[in-house]
Every structure is written in C-alpha cells, then in structure tokens.
Homo-oligomer: A and B are copies of this chain.
C-alpha cells in the first residue's frame, strides 16, 4: 500500500512530521507557523492549503501522535501463561514500563499535560483511551495469568492500577519533571519492575 504517495500526500506528511516535532518540543504557543513551514521545507502557503489554521494543525498532529501510542498500550501482548508466575508478571510489567517510558510517549504526555488547560479535550481523550485503556488491557493480562491459579484477583482492574502505580510512579514523575526523554537503563528497569512485582505478588499471591 502507499506505493506512490502523491506530491500532495508527501507535502502533507512533511508538514505533519515537522509540526509534530515542533509542537512536542516548543508547545503550542512556542511554535510558529513560519518555523513549521521552514522545518518542513515547504512554503507557508502550502501549510495553509492543508490545514485551515494553527489550531487545526495542532489538533491533527495530536490525533496522529496519539493513535500509535494508544494502539501500543491497549494491544495486550499475548501472555504466554507459563508455569513461572513471577517471571510472567515481570515480563508483563517490563513490557508496560518500556512501552510507556518511550521518548515519544513522554513528550506527548508533557505536551498534553502542559496544554490541558487550553485543550482539555485531547488530554481527556488520551486519558480515556491510552491510560484507562492501557490499565484495562493490563487487567486482562493479569486475569489470564490468574487462571493458572497462583493469583487471587477480586478486582483485576484495581490490581492493574496498583501494579502500574508501583512500577511507574517514581520513574514517570522523574521523567515528567526532569524533562529527560532518555529511556530507563536496564538496571533501573529491573529495579522498578522487580520491586513492583515482588510487592504485587506479596499482596495478590493465592494462599498456598
């Protein structure tokens, strides 16, 4: 598919790419249409051919940037359901943390949070789809793991919220405030996920 993108489609993609980078880096007010046009190596007129005004361009790049993130977080990775519950839990948790601590996701989160006062619809949409959807997907994974009999899950959603909260609270806050987009090191990933899974198991392991 998309064998030969027409010139119009190419230009549109150039504009979207440049605008996405610019908005994610400088925010809405900090991004000028001239800068977008220059970064896209496109005349400003072409920008306005494709997008009515700055706000509609902003909305377009937000929707486009949210889509793959939502997709990735809500597509429950198939749980193998092996015989090692702790290992399976650790794998699920690592998947979640790595997926949500990606640089693009962090930048998108900062933009949505920073602009949530002026563009509350998009922050709300992201929360509904990506955040809540991701937790629901995690709850489903936990339910599958619980079928093995090692977990007692009276409320899978609450369990998912607590597992995610334990694993992500510290690194996510640090990333948000620090402004650093660097993904977690292997040691940090092991530390946060390992500690979270340990306490999760201590709370939810079925009585032997």
Contacts and interface: CB of A to CB of B under 8 A. Distances in A.
The main secondary structure of chain A at its interface with chain B is: helix
A113 B113 CA distance: 7
A184 to B, nearest CB: 15
A131 B155 CA distance: 29
A162 B195 contact: yes
Given A115-B114, A202-B202, A123 B168 contact: no
Number of copies: 2
Contact-residue size bin, chain A (C-beta under 8 Å from the other chain): 35 or more
A88 to B, nearest CB: 19
Contact of A113 (B114, B162, B167): B114
Contacts of A168: 165, 169
Q: Which 6 A-B pairs have the closest CB atoms?
A: A114-B114, A165-B169, A116-B179, A165-B165, A29-B29, A127-B177
